Structure 1
Amino acid sequence: MTEPVSPFPFPIRSACPPGACVCEYDRVVADPQADHRPLALNRLQEQKLIERIERIESYEDLKHVQAVIHRNLGVALRIEPGPNEVRTVRGIIVVLEEKPGLCKKARQSIPAAVRRCLNERPEIAYALLDAHDLFGAP
C-alpha cells in the first residue's frame, strides 16, 4: 500500500488538537490560494529555529534571522523598543506576527527565544536601541 501524495512541495506539520489553537490549520490546508509556508514550521523545524536564535551573536545576525523568518514563513518578527522607557529587555517589544497556519505555540516560543538571546547578550539589545535612535542625538 502506498502513502497518499502530499499536494505540498515540503513536509507540513500535523494539525493542532481541536480547540487548542487558533491557527486555522484546516482552512489553510484546504485553500489552494493560501500561503502554505507557515505549515512548514513543524516541531523539529521550530526547535532548529529556536536553537539558531539562541546562537545569534550580533545585531546584524539578528536582522538576518528576521529576514530568513520572513522569507521562509511569510511572517514578520518585530523587535523594537516599547513606547515607554526601556530599562530591561522586557521593555523591548518582540512579536511574531499572526498568520493563518502559524501555530500559537510558535508565536510564543520564538519571541521567548529572542528575549533569552537579548538577556544573554545585552550588546545586541543596546545595538537595537541605538538603531531606533534611543541613544542618538535628540
Structure 2
Amino acid sequence: MSEKQFFLVREDILTDAMQKTLEVKSLLESGKIKKINEAVHHVGLSRSAYYKYKDGIFPFHTMMKEKIITLSLNLVDRSGSLSQLLSIIAESGANVLTINQSIPLQGRAHITLSINTSSMESDLNQLKLKIEQLEAVEKVELVGSGS
C-alpha cells in the first residue's frame, strides 16, 4: 500500500462538511458533547459525512505534535530582544534546537530558529501570536517542519 500524502490547505478552501467535521471533533475532544450523534446534530452535519472525513482531516497544530519546526523572523537590534523571544519559546514548553542569527544590518537581524514542539503546552498558533506581539519582532513565518 502506498504512503498517504498530506497537504496544507487554508481553512476557507475546505468544504462546509469538512469544516463541520472539525467542529464535531473539537466538541468531542473538549468533552462539551459526549456523543457523536449529539455533536453532528449540534453543528448540522450528517453522521455519514462525519465518518467520511473524521480520519482524514486534522487542525494543523495537531499534525505538528512530535515535530521539529523552523521559524524565520526579523528582529529589531535592541538589547534584550533575543532574550525576550527565547523566553516566550521556553514558556510555551517548546525546546530551541538551533539558532542562526545574521549580523544586524540597518538595525535588524534575521533569525532562523529550529524548535521541538512535542512538549508544547499551547498550540503553534498561540506561540506565533505571542512572538508577533513582541515589540522587537517585525515578521514571523513558519518555513518548515519535519520529524
The structure number with the bigger radius of gyration is: 2
TM-score above 0.5, yes or no: no
Higher strand share: 2
TM-score, normalised by the number of residues in structure 2: 0.28
**Is the helix fraction higher in 1 or 2?**
1
TM-score, normalised via structure 1 length: 0.29
